[in-house]
Amino acid sequence: MTFSITLTVNGTPHHLALDDMRVTLLDLLRDRLGLTGTKKGCDRGQCGACTVLVNGQRLNACLALAVQQDGAEIVTIEGLAPADGLHPVQAAFLEHDAFQCGYCTPGQIMSAAGLIAEGEDGADIERIREGMSGNICRCGAYRGISLAVAEAARKAKTEAGA
Amino acid sequence: MKSFDYLRPDTLDEALAALSDPDAAALGGGTNLLDLMKLGVAGPSKIVDLTRLPGLDRIETLPDGTVRIGALVRNAALPRDPGFAAAFPMVAEALLSGASGQLRNAATVGGNLMQATRCAYFQDPFAACNRRAPGTGCDAKDGANRNHAILGWSPACIATHPSDFCVPLAALGAIVEIAGPDGLRELPLAEFHLLPGEEAHLTTQLAPGEIVLALRLPPGAADFAGHARYLKLRERNSYAFAIVSAAAALRLEDGVIREARLALGGVAARPWRATAAETLLAGARPAPETFAAAAEAALAEAAPSGANGFKIALAGRILARALAAAAAGTPARMPALPGSVLDDSDTEAAHA
Ligand SMILES: Cc1cc2nc3c(=O)[nH]c(=O)nc-3n(C[C@H](O)[C@H](O)[C@H](O)COP(=O)(O)OP(=O)(O)OC[C@H]3O[C@@H](n4cnc5c(N)ncnc54)[C@H](O)[C@@H]3O)c2cc1C
Ligand code: SF4
Ligand code: FES
Ligand code: FES
């Protein structure tokens, strides 16, 4: 069967006639839209490498059918930064050297952006670690990741308060 | 993955008509179904996406105080709802102790109830498994079974139900609303999942073509809000299924337990309500010996199903500990590490 869907990805609308219902959002982004920033780690919801924002919420793109996202607004790592620089989470990752090989990084950054938007990061590092536990880092860069997310969360709050 | 047709009904009647096909499967968030389809364990020829059905994504309070949760409410939405989290803190804690932020945003209430066991042989289409392929045997019986059941198992199947959410729901007497070709019916959640007996492939009371429509928490379930905890032991402190877990809720008056609500998770093919232990606690004063006696009563019939005898001791301890934590009072703020025994960051009680 074919099913026509509309998706907005990083601000660009896409009208797609899906010819196979099995395509996951992850495979759609990577293989059909050429957005390979979103990574495939486990393909089973166990690592977080495929995290994207769907209608502002972080999700595992590997466990989401593309067809089910009809009408959604999707943001991937390619679309997170404003035109003139870096997203605060990206800047904080650079600042805190929050990666080694970088494979988990797009998922970590998208997950952190989602966590901060959810407002459940709290003020303490323990809540951030818990909130980020759906993102595994094989290189063990967790210390830098937690510090980076904490700093970005702090900045987001200061800006919201200002 | 086997290919399939995708249907997106706009009404309940259309959804039920589509699901009358025995090869059709309902789709919620897809976090379990899609995984099983990739593994070759599930292979529906038709997927019926329930997520656009109207009215099932609401949390409502009915005139008599019942709280009704639509089957399509996302797992993340319940702990995020301040009224819900305050009234049912151990349900919020159980949800937040499960899966990850990403998965909770996708997973639905109905899908959480209906999720399949995490038994490794169930997930392997080449293994013998009575639950997946009736009559083939049970490779877990002589295999990797340290996480398997200690209560309610049978020689046909020793799997556990993996949900955290269902454990406090069973304790609080939640009701499952079911819609099917013959109309609506309802069942206590504690009886919704079937124990294996000889028919391990029948996992819930849902008949073919039926769906979970909503969950209800009866009036009175919120009376336990001041003294309620969910504790969960796992191989790592977050993003892992329970080895054993316990939901404990108390209604205290003048230092005496008037009523207790208890259930264990990770021990059986259903969330295990511990009614004998509840009865034993009614009228007692909260004390370590009382909690130990309650734990013993809850596990009186437990037996190892493999190399998992340690889970009996562990389940007793987590239940006693959850009771002590509940007696101390629900924390004012959700612990930084929900469900964790390693979290001592917040000891201030909410409703003291
Ligand atoms: C890596 C990982 C870690 C996890 N950790 C935990 C954990 O620690 N604790 C925990 O409790 N859970 C955990 N989970 C499981 C998770 O909670 C479930 O996958 C989720 O709740 C399923 O909901 P869903 O809406 O995505 O279901 P789906 O995948 O859409 O559906 C699951 C099943 O339910 C059926 N179904 C869906 N909705 C209905 C309905 N309304 N009526 C009838 N049938 C229906 C489907 O046909 C399917 O058989 C984890 C999952 C993953 C992938
Ligand atoms: S324990 Fe149950 S689910 Fe696991 S292999 Fe045996 S029959 Fe299958
Ligand atoms: S690739 Fe999606 S969670 Fe690992
Ligand atoms: S930086 Fe290598 S996996 Fe995280």
Task: Please write the tens of the pLDDT for every residue from B245-267.
Answer: 999 999 999 999 999 999 999 99
pLDDT, one tens digit per residue, over B284-314 is: 999 999 999 999 999 999 999 999 999 999 9
The stretch B171-182 carries a mean pLDDT of 98
**Fold designation for A88-160:** DNA polymerase; domain 1 (1.10.150)
What is the least distance, in Å, from the CA of B105 to any CA of chain A?
7
Does B70 score more than 70 pLDDT? yes
Q: Is residue B134 part of a domain?
A: no
B28 touches B57 (CB < 8 A): no
- How many domains does the structure of chain B reveal? 2
Q: What's the pTM value of the predicted model, to 2 decimals? A: 0.97
Q: Is residue B11 part of a domain?
A: yes
Domain span at residue B38?
A: 1-54
Name the residue of A25, A28, A42, A77 to mutate for ligand 3: max ligand atoms within 8 A of Cβ.
A42
CB-CB under 8 Å, A60 with B101: no
Listed by number, the residues of chain B in 49-88 with a beta carbon closer than 8 Å to a beta carbon of chain A are 49, 51, 76, 80
CB-CB under 8 Å, A60 with B106: yes
Q: Is residue B310 part of a domain?
A: yes
What local confidence, expressed as pLDDT, does residue B347 receive? 54
Spell out which residues of chain A touch residue B241, defining contact as CB-CB under 8 Å.
Answer: none
What local confidence, expressed as pLDDT, does residue A69 receive? 97
CATH code for the domain in which residue B304 is found: 3.30.390.50
Please name the residues in contact with B55: beta carbons below 8 A apart, sequence gap of 6 or more.
B70
Q: What is the mean pLDDT of chain B?
A: 96
Nearest residue in A to B38, CA atom: A44
Does A42 score more than 50 pLDDT? yes
Q: Is residue B168 part of a domain?
A: no
Does B348 score more than 70 pLDDT? no
Q: Is residue B284 part of a domain?
A: yes
Q: Is residue B218 part of a domain?
A: no
ipTM of the complex: 0.97
Q: How confident is the model at residue A124 (pLDDT cuts 50, 70, 90)?
A: confident
CATH code for the domain in which residue B25 is found: 3.30.43.10
User: What DSSP string runs through A44-103?
Assistant: SSSS-TTEEEETTEEEEGGGSBSGGGTT-EEE-GGGSS-TTS--HHHHHHHHTT--SS-S
Q: Is residue B137 part of a domain?
A: no
Q: What's the CATH number of domain A3-80, 3.40.50.1000, 3.40.50.620, 3.10.20.30, 2.60.120.10?
A: 3.10.20.30
What local confidence, expressed as pLDDT, does residue B352 receive? 41
Q: How far apart are CA B333 and CA A107, in angstroms?
A: 29
Does B55 score more than 60 pLDDT? yes
The structural domains of chain A, with segments of one domain joined by +, span 3-80, 88-160
CA distances to B111, B190, B221, B237 from B271, in Å: 15, 6, 17, 21
Q: Is residue B277 part of a domain?
A: yes
The stretch B180-197 carries a mean pLDDT of 97
CB-CB under 8 Å, B51 with A22: no
Cα angle value B201/B207/B209 (rounded, 5°): 115
Q: In angstroms, what is the C-alpha Rg of chain B?
A: 20
The stretch B192-211 carries a mean pLDDT of 96
What is the least distance, in Å, from the CA of B133 to any CA of chain A?
22
Q: How confident is the model at residue A162 (pLDDT cuts 50, 70, 90)?
A: low
What local confidence, expressed as pLDDT, does residue A159 receive? 81
The set of protein residues with a Cβ atom below 6 angstroms from ligand 2 is B 117, 119, 121-122, 129-132, 138-140, 157-159, 200
Does A59 score more than 80 pLDDT? yes
